[in-house]
Structure formats: C-alpha cells, structure tokens
Amino acid sequence: MSSLVAEPVSRLVEAFARLPGIGPKTAQRLTYHLLRVPESEARALAAALVAVREEIVFCRTCFNFSDADECPICRNPDRDPRRICVVGEPLDVLAIERTGEWTGRYHVLHGQLSPMDGIGPERLRVAELLTRVEAARRAGEPVEEIILATNPTVEGDATAAFLAERLAGQVGAVTRIARGLPVGSDLEYADAITLVRALRGRRAIGEAP
C-alpha cells in the first residue's frame, strides 16, 4: 500500500482483505469506517475478536463451535442422539436449524474430501464420527440413521460416498439429502423451503432417484 497511508491503517486493510469475500476496496472501506466510529465501538470489536479466539472451542461430541465442552444442541435432551446429520461446516448447521425440520443431532466434518487440494479423510472429523458411532453401539444405543448433508458438489458427493462406504453395516440407515439443492451450491446459501424439501426427500445411499 502507498507510503502515504499510515502503517497501522495499512496493516488493518491487509488483515480485512485476507477475510473470505472481502476485496481490497471493501477492506479499505471497513478500515476507514472504524477510524470514524467512536473509540468504544472499535474497542468492542477488538474485544469480540479476541474473545471468539479465546473462548470458543470444538464441541467434544459433534465438533461444532461451542463456548462449552458440549454445544447447546448436544446438551439438549429433546434432540434424538440416534439420528445424526453430517455436514461439512458449522454454517451448514445454522442453515438446517433455520428450517425447524431436524430434531436429531449433528456431526461437523470441517471440510470435504478434495484430493486436488490435498484434503483427505485424515484432515476431516471422519475418525471422530466413526468412533462416535462405535461408542453408541457399544453403549446399547446404536445410531438409527445418519443423513449425509454435504454440499451437492463433486467434493460433497465424494465425501458422502466415502462415508457411506465406511458406515455401511454400522448404523441402521445411511441417507443422503435429496436433490432439492442446486448442483454446485452451498448449504449455507439455501433457503429454508429448499432445505426442508431436501431433508424430507432423503433416500438411502445408492437408491435410484
């Protein structure tokens, strides 16, 4: 950035520009906006950023983000632990929760298989899912259904196929959300009605449409 810009301003612009969906111009606008707001507002933003890094952890059960050992969904006794919806990212949990359709629990993989990008099963929460399923079986409360709600993309389909193979015979049923979602789209951008139709139209992996 030009030497006419103060170093702290330049650093903040560069920091904003590294965020997803933020281009150089938007980064500049955000930076100069913060320079104009009251100091208390800027400090509140800084404190929130520090807190989210220091206080947020992975839920020990589903690996969603949480401020406690277990997230509110896993702690909720009204959620059915025998039915697990597997998603790629925490934002997908929020998208499905907005529908009000799902009453089971979740498992967050934190990504999807992508050999081209060097992302294999070992970089996802696959082992934890298999361990969770096995622990439930040993406890006498086997998982009845796992819904694979990965994105309807090449990577999402590959992830679903891989998990279906690993889970075969370990749970009552393995289903995939229906194609109510456009191919190549992300769950977090889907509207509630589309997600409800996809959840209700799920079918067993390998079953013909």
Average pLDDT of span 115-134: 95
Residue 193: which CATH number?
3.40.1360.10
Kindly state whether residue 151 falls inside one of the protein's structural domains.
yes
DSSP state of 173: E
Cβ atoms 150, 156 nearer than 8 A: yes
On whether residue 62 sits in a domain, the answer given is: no
Q: List Cα–Cα distances, 184 to 33, 49, 95, 125, in angstroms.
A: 35, 32, 16, 22
Q: Look at the pTM and tell me if it is higher than 0.85.
A: no
Rounded distance between C-alpha atoms, residue 146 and residue 144, angstroms? 7
Of the candidates 103, 121, 104, which has an alpha carbon nearest to the alpha carbon of residue 112?
Answer: 121
**Domains in the chain, number:** 2
**What mean pLDDT is predicted for residues 144-167?**
93
Residue 17, domain member (yes or no): yes
Is it the case that residue 206 has pLDDT exceeding 70? no
pLDDT of 193 strictly over 80: no
Q: Quote the tokens at residue 138.
A: 């040993």
Residue 99 lies in a domain: yes
Domain extent, residue 90, equals 70-204
Residue 11 located in a structural domain: yes
Q: Quick one: 44 and 78 in the same domain?
A: no
Tokens found for residue 43: 């400090």
Q: What does the pLDDT read at residue 192? A: 80
| CATH number of residue 12's parent domain | 1.10.8.420
Between CA 157 and CA 179 the distance in angstroms is: 11
Q: Is the pLDDT of residue 182 over 80?
A: no
Task: State whether 79 and 164 are in the same domain.
Answer: yes
Q: Is the pLDDT of residue 57 over 60?
A: yes
> Quick one: average pLDDT of 80-105?
96
Q: For residue 84, is pLDDT > 80?
A: yes
Q: Is 60 inside any structural domain?
A: no
**Do 75 and 32 lie in a common domain?**
no
Instruction: Using the predicted structure, report yes or no on whether residue 104 has a pLDDT greater than 90.
Output: yes
